[in-house]
Amino acid sequence: MNNKPIFVTQPFLPPLEEFYEYIKDIWESKWLTNNGKYHQALESALCDYLGVKYISLFSNGTLALVTALQALRITGEVITTPYSFVATTHSLWWNNIKPVFVDVDRSTFNLDPEKIESAITPQTTAILPVHVYGNPCNVQKIKEIADIYGLKVIYDACHTFGIKIKGIPVLNFGDLSVMSFHATKIYNTFEGGAIVCHDEPTKKRIDNLKNFGFVDETTVVTPGINAKMNEVQAAMGLLQLKYINSAIEKRKQATERYRNGLNGIKGITYMEDMANVKHCYSFFPIFIDKDKYGKTRDEVYEELRKNNIFGRRYFYPLISQFPTYRGLESAQKGLMPVAEEITEKVICLPLYADLTLEDQLTVLGKLNHN
């Protein structure tokens, strides 16, 4: 048995002595939050790195999702995916919006564009797709559908730091894109998030909404929320940018080692890189076929845990299977056969920048039972 636990992820942390210099400066300034210099510097630096025009920083990605829906005044029904983390759909619930689930595409596990139109009703106002595992959605097809029906598109882009499609940043598609900088993500600010938009008036509205609705010292124009990123988070984000390219390259190398090590193991499949896409290697999901592998996904999952290997079943159960949502018409069993199949097969293996070759070989050795 492996004595040291191998977790599904581990946050990348820059050198502590470098972070200390930022902390010392924050201590001396006594400016801890409310659009301080590090907050402003990080927004500018992220726009440059990510290739976007406007970005608004948030204390976490969930509040960014909630605020994005507010910013575009979304109401009624929103078409979304069941195959994601629950925050995607919770953001709709907090805005009193009805989620309408549709099935996912078998090759990408993203929202299937071919299923969207049949789910549109007079109450539909938007589409909320997720770039699952950092694999871009079919952005062109979703745009065509949204344009025909006059719908807004808000992308949950929490897995997509730095990803490009044919050289175009994936964050530039849709009306808004929402990011997460949680500790489990490739790029982290401890907690944190952001909304990417394309024009200054929208950026201003988002900034007002995340600061209680204030536009000046005495004027509140909308019932906003408190979702501002503080200076310590922003300082961490600035420092992380110095190392992010190296961290992504290490994750790419680890991904390639997994692929090489899994080749030839019957009953285990994995995802290849998409054509014309610059990836960031957020996750490494594998899919267990019981008939070919000889064990169920859950048996494999439990066996790994007994050996101190803590993969995660991202995403299981489906959001539509949680008690909060399973009463919805669109959540009924049998309506989303691809998502229902995939959720019973998936395990995400440990993947992070500092994952050692030894630990990877341990994981692969437990999977290669033939």
List of domains in the chain:
16-241 (3.40.640.10), 244-367 (3.90.1150.10)
Average pLDDT over residues 269-279: 98
Q: Give the C-alpha separation, 252 to 289, whole Å.
A: 25
Distances in Å between the Cα of 226 and the Cα atoms of 60, 211, 229, 230, 366 are 11, 5, 9, 11, 46
Q: What is the dihedral of CA 248, 254, 257, 263, to 10 degrees?
A: -90
Handedness of CA 66, 70, 72, 78 (dihedral sign): positive
154 close to 163: Cβ distance less than 8 angstroms: no
Return the percentage of the chain with pLDDT > 70, whole number.
Answer: 99
**Tokens read off for 16:** 């502590």
SS3 state at 98: strand
- Classify residue 358 by burial, with Cβ atoms within 10 Å: 0-12, 13-18, 19+: exposed
Q: Give the C-alpha separation, 73 to 126, whole Å.
A: 10
Average pLDDT over residues 46-58: 98
SS3 state at 249: helix
Q: Give the C-alpha separation, 129 to 136, whole Å.
A: 10
Q: What is the pLDDT at residue 160?
A: 97
Average pLDDT over residues 155-161: 97
The whole-model pTM stands at: 0.97
Residue at token pair 């066996």: 303
pLDDT band at residue 168 using 50, 70 and 90 as cut-offs: very high
Average pLDDT over residues 102-111: 97
Average pLDDT over residues 26-49: 98
Helix (H) / strand (E) containing 100: strand 98-101
pLDDT band at residue 6 using 50, 70 and 90 as cut-offs: very high
Average pLDDT over residues 32-44: 98
Q: What is the pLDDT at residue 3?
A: 78
Q: What is the pLDDT at residue 1?
A: 63
Alpha helices in the chain (DSSP H): 16-29, 37-50, 61-71, 87-94, 113-116, 139-149, 200-209, 231-241, 244-262, 290-293, 297-306, 337-342, 357-367
Write the DSSP symbol of residue 26: H
Q: Give the C-alpha separation, 293 to 301, whole Å.
A: 13
Average pLDDT over residues 271-284: 98
Residue 2 has pLDDT above 70, yes or no: no
Residue 369 has pLDDT above 80, yes or no: no
Give the pLDDT confidence of 301-320 residue by residue, as tens digits: 999 999 999 999 999 999 99
Give the pLDDT confidence of 196-214 residue by residue, as tens digits: 999 999 999 999 999 999 9
